[in-house]
Structure 1
Amino acid sequence: MNETRYTGTWESVKQHTVPAWYEDCKFGIFIHWGIYSVPAFAPRTWELGEVDSDEQWFCNNPYAEWYYNSVNVGRGPTYEHHMNTYGREFRYEDFIPMWKAENWNPGEWAELFQKAGAQYVVLTTKHHDGFCLYPSEHTKFHAGRMGPCRDITGDLTEAVRGAGLKMGLYYSGLIDWQFANDPIFVEGENFSNACPTFEYADYSYKQMKELVDKYRPSVLWNDIGWPKQSEHAMPYLLAHYYNTVEDGVVNDRFNGLYHDFLTKEYQYGKADRTQKWEMCRGMGLSFGYNENEGDDQLISLPKLIRLLVATVADNGNLLLNIGPKADGTIPTEQVKRLLTLGRWLQVNGKGIYGTRCSKRLSEHRADGTQVYYTRKGRDLYFYIDGLKEGCNVVSLPGLHRTVTALNPALEVEQDVSENGLRLTVKNYRSDLYLLGFEAAGQE
């Protein structure tokens, strides 16, 4: 039992440490589902961080969940699509009756996440459009009385926890286009155009506290930033959260003032082996469901598994997003990736879950292979990527004892010498993806 009692000061709050469960879990599911799932449109342009976040980015935004702003900027592919498909008089809010979630089964979602090997889930409870996926006491603009007409957050929280997973909640703390909806053309306008009133600062504070008190989320995931007008209240809000949720953890999007873990989004941000961090991304270029992203446009299975392993080896967690359709079904191409990742983790997860950074850095070798390292105590784990079909020989300098393949079906010969370990894998197939090995006592 944690006996620490936090008070509303930075000195007190900054005593908080990352809970062991978040260090151990490694893999979570992000969910972007909302009004924007009805138009389900965005152009396929770039990954975040690949180009400057200027007018070119915001007028060609690949994030379908930014549909409101992508129309509001008045030019670009999404604006043209909206004008041609729905017309100038059709408002974003007119999509709400079309979002019925008629085929949604939260228990099926939770079962899928469990099969995927995820250990936690983070749901967008309010994105930048301001529509809440729970019956908030502070607005009528919510899914309890409009659209699906149900407490999506509560129903999913119950199902996820029933499946033995941790439940986290996302909240757009800085931006709410129901309060201030000037179009955003450059990154700086995320802050300068975003809800500059004390009224909104109070509203976002109350809603964040409401989420804590009502659902007790294990992760409190704030987006973009926090209203300047209520920065002084942030220590109390965080203290209240930690006192309410003993194993709670928060991200770093609080105006640079505080974090438990850092975030990286696609190419924006960087890995930091000295601090806990989290990689979040969609399976395609968008978080919300985008009808333009079919199976061929999503991350490939080898790249997805490599992303998980590389992230964990560098002290990170992977928060992989799903974008459900408006009816509540998850696209089959997304389901395929989750189930394949889950099957791989059933075989290779011993060197993923509960591990920490190894002192050995990841290796990208001249022959095209990569080796990633993790550890548990003094036990070393490593994963080999880039192998070819059939027989492969891999040398591992610095390892002077035999190792154990995590996949017992592998045919492996081992030769130990003063130069290290020489592995011969005789029966590699591409559908095995990265191969995991345990080197007991060799960290």
Structure 2
Amino acid sequence: MQRRTVLKTLAAVLPGLYIKKVSQPFNLFSSLGQELTENGPFKPTWGSLGNYQVPDWFRDAKFGIWAHWGPQCEPERGDWYARGMYEEGSDQYKYHCEKYGHPSKFGFKDVINIWKAENWNPEALVALYKKAGAKYFMALANHHDNFDLFDSSYQSWNSTRIGPKKDLIAGWAKAAKNNNLHFGVSVHAAHAWSWYETAQRADTRGPLKGVPYDGKVNKREGVGKWWEGYDPQMDLYAQNHPLSKDSLNNGSIHRQWNWGNGVTPPSAPYTEKFYKRTIELINKYHPELVYFDDTVLPYYPINDVGVRIAAHLYNKTIKDNGQLTGVVTGKILDAQQRKCMIWDIERGQSNEIVPSPWQTDTCIGNWHYDRRLFDNDGYKSAKTVIHTLIDVVSKNGNLMLNIPVRGDGTIDDKERAIVESIGEWMKINGEAIYATRPWISFGEGPALVSASPLRAQGFNEGKGKPLGPKDYRFTCKGPILYAFMFGWPDDATAFIKKLAKGPLVGEIKSIRLLGSNQTIQFEQKDTGLKINLPQQEALLNAFVFKIEGAIV
């Protein structure tokens, strides 16, 4: 194809991409020749993806840590800041006006510009997470704010050109490799199209009533400004389209997450640009895991962008590693879709053993850093995280835990203390977590009565009764059964009904409390297993019995 023809095609597909004033050349042709592994065993169809087998590394890892970090962490005011700052009267709108100025004068593009990530040390953070027991690490590659945190050939608004002037994904990927952790990326930018519609608004009252926010500021208006040559409307906010139905209702975005219920359909150039950005991300940084914050997959069911990306990742990891090591996650999956990828549950967990491996993603605070949680001791405790991990693993799941990163690239001392406490527990009890599989039952206890059902993509976290000393969960590894106890009973006695000797439970030969050298006295009755606990040692958060003989 001649260069002129290529340019005409690209001008139609990627309008407004030409950059007039840049510090580095923007080589649009740098990734046009990137290889698509279309000749691999996986084709971009649901039928072909149904042959997927979850890699052993993911099944065995159980615990990952996530850096959900980008320019929305710079204000330190919580999640979805780039949307909330344009919602008149909201907490984030008020905060933004006080700290930065009115969103017609200082928009989110300007927040990106002042974000410098000046104290970011990915090697130190990832090393800390490895010490905490994480077996894989995931970094945010872009959020709904549409800003790529890597050297992107297809998105001029990226962290190598604006803000930090650093390739953040490259830094995270190198640190993960140096620490021998599997590397993943999370991709959220598919929804910028509708998510940023709040940036098209204007105040309905006050001295700036009717003055538009900066959602439709275009390249022509950047002459002489710091963003000269860049197009906020087209390339960052993606707002050169009519508002979706009921767009002025701030909650409507949730009903339209599956690209239905009146959302303005995204254009073909917009979705194809997302595809090219994501393929380049995979090819350049070699993640084994790609997390999508989407109902099923990006742009499902309106086009095949998502299945094309999934097939490419699977085929690429086969080519690179000699076997399938790729993992793709999605939310709200039906039975067939769960055969094609990993079901991800946001801020919640299953109430039963799931036949296929799955994942919970949650956070000790807000997804984006919120200073108020530090000031008001609002983080989840290490105990809560550990209890969640145990419950998830007992039901065939993995836990992906976000530790919010401050705008400057650091975590605060309270977060560090939580991470270190998790690591101390994992050092003693990790054998009951890693490379285990569910037993015939995930557990028992009074907390089961109040377990909350899933809502939408999850959100049943913390809705039921907390796990306590009469609650138990199980995992197994070969002939060994592990029984987790979530508190130390006042009577120093554990009684586990499901370990009564019977057709599904063998005669127990020995029991050891992990982290203790004391002898454990027990009696296996027809009604259950009675364990006389030793003198309580300096063990915290949850207790693990290593049991031999129970598995038949």
Structure 2 length-normalised TM? 0.71
Task: Report deviation, 1:91.
Answer: 1.0
Kept after mapping to 2: 8 A contact 1:380/1:442: yes
SS of the residue corresponding to residue 65 of structure 1 reads coil
Hey, what does 1:406 align to over in structure 2? 514
**Structure 2 CA distance for aligned equivalents of residues 92 and 142 of structure 1:** 14
Hey, what does 2:321 align to over in structure 1? none
Structure 2 counterparts to residues 4-43 of structure 1, below 5 A: 5-41=41-77
Structure 2 counterparts to residues 38-77 of structure 1, below 5 A: 38-41=74-77, 64-77=78-91
Is 1:381 paired with 2:397? no
Hey, what does 2:125 align to over in structure 1? 109
Structure 2 counterparts to residues 201-216 of structure 1, below 5 A: 201-216=271-286
SS of the residue corresponding to residue 64 of structure 2 reads strand
Cα deviation code 1:14-64 (max 9, x no counterpart): 2111111111111001111111111111xxxxxxxxxxxxxxxxxxxxxx2
Kept after mapping to 1: 8 A contact 2:271/2:305: no
Kept after mapping to 2: 8 A contact 1:32/1:65: no
Which structure ranks higher in relative contact order (CA pairs < 8 Å, sequence separation ≥ 6)? 1
**Structure 1 CA distance for aligned equivalents of residues 317 and 121 of structure 2:** 27
Name the aligned partner's letter for residue 251 of structure 2: F
Is 1:276 paired with 2:357? yes
Task: Report deviation, 1:235.
Answer: 3.4
1:393 to 471, 489, 493: 493
Hey, what does 1:97 align to over in structure 2? 113
Cα deviation code 1:96-138 (max 9, x no counterpart): 2321111111110111111110011111100000111101000
Hey, what does 2:299 align to over in structure 1? 227
**Structure 2 CA distance for aligned equivalents of residues 126 and 353 of structure 1:** 30
Name the aligned partner's letter for residue 282 of structure 2: V
Task: Report deviation, 1:72.
Answer: 1.9
1:250 to 324, 328, 335: 328
Hey, what does 2:530 align to over in structure 1? 422
Change (3 A) 1:195 1:214: farther
Give ranges in structure 1 of 5+ residues lacking alignment.
42-63
Cα deviation code 1:133-161 (max 9, x no counterpart): 10100021000111111111011101111
Structure 2 counterparts to residues 322-401 of structure 1, below 5 A: 322-365=403-446, 369-388=470-489, 392-397=492-497, 398=500, 400-401=507-508
Give ranges in structure 2 of 5+ residues lacking alignment.
1-38, 197-236, 319-324, 448-467, 502-506
SS of the residue corresponding to residue 369 of structure 2 reads coil
Is 1:318 paired with 2:399? yes
Name the aligned partner's letter for residue 106 of structure 2: F
Hey, what does 1:155 align to over in structure 2? 171
Aligned residues: 417
Kept after mapping to 1: 8 A contact 2:346/2:361: yes
SS of the residue corresponding to residue 41 of structure 2 reads coil
Name the aligned partner's letter for residue 206 of structure 1: K
Q: Which has the higher strand share?
A: 1
**Structure 1 CA distance for aligned equivalents of residues 268 and 89 of structure 2:** 31
Name the aligned partner's letter for residue 243 of structure 1: N
**Structure 2 CA distance for aligned equivalents of residues 370 and 108 of structure 1:** 37
**Structure 1 CA distance for aligned equivalents of residues 351 and 82 of structure 2:** 29
Larger Rg, first or second structure (1 or 2): 2
SS of the residue corresponding to residue 191 of structure 2 reads coil
Change (3 A) 1:37 1:161: same
Kept after mapping to 2: 8 A contact 1:73/1:185: no
Hey, what does 2:373 align to over in structure 1? 293
2:99 to 78, 81, 85: 85
Name the aligned partner's letter for residue 237 of structure 1: I
Is 1:309 paired with 2:390? yes
Which contiguous aligned blocks of 4+ residues in structure 1 show a shift greater than 6 angstroms? 254-257
Q: How large is the Cα RMSD of the aligned pairs?
A: 2.5
Hey, what does 2:10 align to over in structure 1? none
1:185 to 251, 254, 279: 251
Task: Report deviation, 1:440.
Answer: 2.2
2:543 to 403, 428, 435: 435
**Structure 2 CA distance for aligned equivalents of residues 411 and 218 of structure 1:** 44
